[in-house]
Structure 1
Amino acid sequence: MPIDKLEYIFDPLCGWCYASAPALDWLAATFSHQLYLLPSGLFAGEGARPITPEWAAHAWKNDQRIAQLTGQPFSGQYHHLLLSGARFDSGALNLALTAFRQISSAAEAGLLHELQAARYVRGEDTARGDVVLKISQAYAAVHHPHLSPSLTADIFAPGSELADLTQQRISGVQRLMRSNGISGVPLLLVTVAGKTHAISGSDLYGGAESINNALDKLGCISH
């Protein structure tokens, strides 16, 4: 059966969402018209926090588990620079992703992948708005040059049209999560023939083959 809709619920600073990046890349390439990225705001606003030594130890332990389970890289530079007192806040990331959403879900997924690599591999502080803006501008210049002129510091400012749109988007995702009893991310909601199924855990962390198999079990057409 054809897929009606794929809704990927995530937070761009969630390590387990980074674990599911290969699966998301495949979904974006295979179901570009059915895929919707839904940022939950888990680590934005009231969910943002300073990185304390305790939080850093907890995060690094999870990171090592993710690396062993999925092969996703976490560099020493990331460990030393971003788990030693920086802030944990996905607000700027959500703004940038919403800007790219205007192009397509595939464009948004591509930027998400670039931002995750910037953080976990290159050790860039993607909790900072200026860093996120610079990465987004560079990515747009290569992949979506028509968007580049509109990516300025002004659109990231509180009260901007993009900020309002991002908050509306997150609020809608949070309502969806509450109505479906969803608390954790990442999660993929698959709607087939009007019925919605939830996919999480190893099906998302196992990459393209794993998520393809999970969709096959639902009787979905992947071509």
Structure 2
Amino acid sequence: MKLIYVGDPMCSWCYGFGKELSALVARVSDLKLEIVVGGIRAGATDVLDAAGKRFRLQHWQRVEALSGLPFNREAFMAREGFVYDTEPVCRAVVAARRFVSGDALLSVFRAFQNGFYVQGLDTTDARVLSDIAATALAAVGVQVNADSFYLAWAGAEAIEETQRDFARARALGVASFPTLLLEEQGRMYAVNSGYASVNALEERFNQIERLVA
């Protein structure tokens, strides 16, 4: 069985969902995890105005209430001229796949989320992403300096692979993030779309297991 997680590090619901998915992976330790980045606002060029920021804070408030995870609203509101383009951070996840996979890659994915939502960092900036990645990879036992990661992130291979991820997300029929799918013997089963607790995820996982047994 393989669990396929389709998400975007700069999607607030994916941020809230992260700790629930990590808990599920810990409970079902023999489950293979694949991460596909979806590009919720990949290639965006519009500068986020005050109204756009307030709209996102409404979502953040709901995610915080459900997940209990913190948000750095002050840093977000204070950032001027911010273009909410999620391609760079999605590509950083793809670049990280050269070094780690499975739950280790999920840890790096969540480090990018923490950088944006908690530390208030600009995760559209390649050098910021490279610093986060180097620290997160070291935490899972992989030594890659920020400059080496930047070269992987900036290369044509990572750019092309990121676009393939976006296309795959569409081919899988994913309409919203986060989405969790289970692949078993060539068949795909929907586990969850949107935020869900680890208990709800485990219950659904067990239902599917009984179905395919």
Identify the TM-score tier after normalising by the shorter chain: 0.7 to 0.9
Q: Residues 203-214 of structure 1: matches in 2 within 5 Å?
A: 204-206=195-197, 208-214=198-204
Q: Residues 98-113 of structure 1: matches in 2 within 5 Å?
A: 98-102=94-98, 103-113=100-110
Distance 1:130 1:151, change over 3 A: same
Letter in 1 for 2:67: T
Spell out, residue by residue over 1:60-89, the C-alpha distance to the aligned partner (whole angstroms, 9 max, x if none): 00100111122121124344334x541211
Spell out, residue by residue over 1:105-144, the C-alpha distance to the aligned partner (whole angstroms, 9 max, x if none): 2221101111111111111111221211111122223323
Q: Residues 116-155 of structure 1: matches in 2 within 5 Å?
A: 116-148=113-145, 151-155=148-152
User: 3-state SS of the aligned residue for 2:70?
Assistant: coil
The structure, 1 or 2, with the larger RCO (C-alpha pairs under 8 Å, 6+ apart) is 1
Query: Which shows bigger deviation, 117-126 or 210-219?
Result: 210-219
**What fraction of aligned residue pairs are identical, expressed as a percent?**
23
Give the corresponding residue for 2:163.
167
Unaligned runs of 5+ in 1: none
Q: Following TM superposition, by how much is the alpha carbon of 1:199 offset from its aligned partner in structure 2, in angstroms?
A: 2.9
User: 3-state SS of the aligned residue for 1:36?
Assistant: strand
Unaligned runs of 5+ in 2: none
Q: Residues 16-95 of structure 1: matches in 2 within 5 Å?
A: 16-29=13-26, 30-31=28-29, 33-45=31-43, 47=44, 49-82=46-79, 84-95=80-91
Contact 1:78 1:121 in 2 (8 A): no
Q: TM-score, normalised by structure 2?
A: 0.84
Pairwise CA RMSD: 2.5
Q: Residues 193-208 of structure 1: matches in 2 within 5 Å?
A: 194-201=186-193, 204-206=195-197, 208=198
Q: TM-score, normalised by structure 1?
A: 0.81
Residues paired across the two proteins, number = 209
Query: Which shows bigger deviation, 24-33 or 163-172?
Result: 24-33
Give the corresponding residue for 2:208.
218
Give the corresponding residue for 2:179.
187
Q: Following TM superposition, by how much is the alpha carbon of 1:20 offset from its aligned partner in structure 2, in angstroms?
A: 0.7
